[in-house]
Amino acid sequence: MEKAKQFAIDNGYIDVSYIGKWKDFEVYEPIMNDESVSFTGLPLSIMDDGKTIRMSTPDETMEILDYFNTDY
């Protein structure tokens, strides 16, 4: 989780919340600062497979939302 949190901070977020395991990835929701401007768009996730950490693609985002049945 620390790797995901540092990735989030490096990309302008302040923290992460663990969502769960999807395929071979640990999936995290990036958390924005409540005091900053929040841009709208797909709720991308941070994905970590133990080798690479990255943001989800739009297609992966939709699959993750369906998989976890998550309402953002």
**CB-CB contact of 37 with 56 (8 Å):** no
Q: What is the mean pLDDT of residues 21-37?
A: 88
More confident residue, 35 or 12: 12
More confident residue, 41 or 12: 12
pTM, whole model, 2 decimals? 0.80
Q: What is the per-residue pLDDT for 72?
A: 52
User: What are the backbone angles phi and psi of residue 27, rounded to the nearest 5°?
Assistant: -115, 135
